[in-house]
Chains A and B, each alone.
Chain A
């Protein structure tokens, strides 16, 4: 009986593991490219983002400690795939989102996600 309980407890732990596209696959190169995209598009017009000195707009949530946030925009599990989809076309990824679609490609969106995850890796 006890064994079953332990196994059940283990199963819950296993179920909580991050999805297969986990964060370790994100490269430093991608993060570097992502930073350039963030600067070009000026995500900072609305968000304060670590590593981006200017602008640090206050219209939308700060992205400090973003990699520790559980849900993107309070709705989507915080995975690289979801994040890339969200930063490119937020209203499609989360209907009702007030963040507008961004003029970036899907590949650029993945780089932006890599940057947003990599920024607090100390």
Chain B
């Protein structure tokens, strides 16, 4: 069972220091530096304006004359803003260009598609072919830039991982690129940062940063699992992945769960590699048992939340595209959850 924190959304927005002031990589650092400089300039300008106001009201006659003179307007009203704002514009454009720089060579490539209201995640090989399909979480290698290829399947979304990079919109019919890089391992939350309809506030995801070698192994294992040929009859899952709780001998049966999964129609929207379940409308469930969250970064992943989500996702995330399967009995839900837990 995964005992991780509940919510990628909370991880993205909550905590001390606040995630936006706690960069965990070079791209986020550059954004944070610019933010601090903007804050400092804002404070300085506010201070100058207040001081000038004081002089204009209560200052000595000579100072007031100077302040009201043409020279003061030329310097304070035109030259200063022109120089500062031009400098900031150049800085800002250069920073944006570095965040959106296209692929040069060794970067990992991940396609992230905004959907109402979850993130489709596809890992690409250097030729741009999809090798692993996943959802609502992003695994990254340490100290290696990753280029996110951002798309939208429906409306405008925006991806924001405050610890790792700036925000970037996901616009229908367009491919945007955003670079992320992590210089420390750990888990970082992300959110959709552009209102995209009803459950927008419950559209999040989780980022996990691995040591580079661990990441390579992880990706290779997942790619191998995803390439597994379709086998009729067998219960899908990694061999040996089905661990039964000794305290609960055989009560819930993954094999029965698979039958129920198929017969209830889950496969119409959900894919599990190597099976006839090949629906692409909803998140790929090939690795759902090891998912860091459920419901797009909003729930921890364990038996209880899995059952609760399948049975009544509409209470948890009102308006989401998955119906509540309240016609399944508690026993049937248990079997399905046991089956899904085995999909590592």
Taking Cβ atoms with an 8 Å cutoff, the residues of A that contact B are 39-46, 55-60, 89, 91-92, 98-103
Contacts and interface: CB of A to CB of B under 8 A. Distances in A.
A99 B304 contact: yes
Nearest to B330: A98
Interface in B272-315: 298-300, 302-305, 307-309, 311-312, 315
Given A56-B315, A58-B312, A103-B3, A41 B304 contact: yes
Interface of B: 1-3, 5-6, 245, 247-248, 251, 298-300, 302-305, 307-309, 311-312, 315-317, 324, 326, 330-331, 333-334, 337
Contacts of B302: 41, 100, 102-103
Given A55-B299, A103-B1, A103-B3, A45 B247 contact: no
A100 B247 contact: no
A92 B304 contact: no
Contact of A60 (B247, B300, B308): B308
Contacts of A46: 304, 307-308, 311-312
A43 B304 contact: yes
Given A41-B304, A46-B304, 19 more contacts: A40-B6, A41-B300, A42-B308, A45-B305, A57-B308, A57-B311, A57-B312, A57-B315, A58-B311, A59-B326, A59-B333, A91-B251, A98-B330, A100-B304, A100-B307, A100-B334, A101-B248, A102-B304, A103-B3
A45 B5 contact: no
Contacts of A44: 316
B204 to A, nearest CB: 13
Contacts of A42: 6, 299-300, 304-305, 308
A103 B1 CA distance: 7
5 contacts: A40-B300, A57-B311, A100-B303, A100-B304, A100-B337
B308 A40 contact: no
A98 B334 contact: yes
Contact of B311 (A41, A59, A89, A99): A59
Contacts of B2: 103
- Which label, helix, strand, loop or mixed, suits the secondary structure of the A interface? loop
B316 A57 contact: yes
A90 to B, nearest CB: 9
Most buried by A among B248, B251, B307, B334: B307
Nearest to B313: A57
A91 B303 CA distance: 13
Contact of A55 (B315, B324, B326, B337): B315
A55 B300 contact: no
A39 B304 contact: no
Nearest to B299: A42
Contact of B248 (A45, A56, A58, A91): A91
A45 B302 CA distance: 11
Most chain B C-beta atoms within 10 Å of own C-beta, residue among A39, A42, A92, A103: A42
Contact of A40 (B1, B5, B303, B304): B5
Contacts of A103: 1-3, 300, 302
A79 to B, nearest CB: 22
A74 to B, nearest CB: 14
Contacts of B312: 46, 57-59
A102 B302 CA distance: 8
The 9 A-B residue pairs with the shortest CB-CB distance in the complex, in nearest-first order: A45-B308, A98-B330, A59-B311, A100-B303, A46-B308, A55-B316, A58-B315, A103-B1, A59-B312
A109 to B, nearest CB: 13
A103 B307 CA distance: 14
B321 to A, nearest CB: 17
Contacts of B3: 103
B316 A45 contact: yes
Tell which of A56, A58, A92 has the most Cβ of chain B within 10 Å. Answer: A58
A46 to B, nearest CB: 4
Nearest to B338: A100
Nearest to B337: A100
Contacts of B248: 91, 101
A101 B308 contact: no
B115 to A, nearest CB: 21
Nearest to A99: B304
